[in-house]
Homo-oligomer: A and B are copies of this chain.
Amino acid sequence: MSQLHPALYVRQGQIPFFRLPTVDVRQGPAAYQGAEAVLLGVPWDGGTTHQPGARFAPWEVRRVSAMIQPYHPVHEVDVFGTLACVDGGNVMIPPFSAAGARELITQEITAVLEARALPFVVGGDHSVTLPILRAIAAVHGPVQVVQLDAHLDTSTGDLWGDDFHHGTPFRHALNEGLIPQGGLHQVGIRGAFGDAEERAFGARFGTQVYGAELIEDLGIRSVATRIRAALGDRPTYLSFDVDGLDPAFAPGTGTPVPGGLTAREVLVLLQALRGTQVVGMDVVEICPSRDTHDLTARLGAQLLFEGLALAAVARVR
Contact = CB atoms under 8 A, between A and B. Distances in A.
A59 B49 contact: no
B67 A165 contact: no
Interface centre among A79, A150, A194, A305 (most CB of B within 10 A): A194
Given A258-B299, A262-B262, A96 B165 contact: yes
Interface centre among A3, A76, A196 (most CB of B within 10 A): A3
Contacts of A160: 94-97
Interface centre among A76, A151, A160 (most CB of B within 10 A): A160
A192 B305 contact: yes
A116 interface: no
Interface stretch (A103-111, A133-141, A229-237, A287-295): A287-295
Nearest to A68: B192
Interface stretch (A8-16, A30-38, A273-281): A8-16
A70 interface: yes
Contacts of A264: 190, 212-213, 215-216, 246, 258-260
A50 B67 contact: yes
A183 interface: no
A7 to B, nearest CB: 4
A285 interface: yes
A173 to B, nearest CB: 13
A309 to B, nearest CB: 9
Nearest to A163: B96
A285 to B, nearest CB: 7
B194 A69 contact: yes
Nearest to A22: B13
Interface string A171-199: 00000000000000000001111111011
Nearest to A294: B256
B251 A249 contact: no
Interface of A: 1-8, 10, 13-16, 19, 45-46, 49-53, 55-56, 59, 63, 66-74, 76, 78-79, 94-98, 100, 126, 149-155, 157, 159-162, 165-168, 190-196, 198-199, 211-213, 215-217, 219-221, 241, 243, 246-249, 251, 254-260, 262-265, 267-268, 271, 285, 289-290, 292-295, 298-299, 302, 305
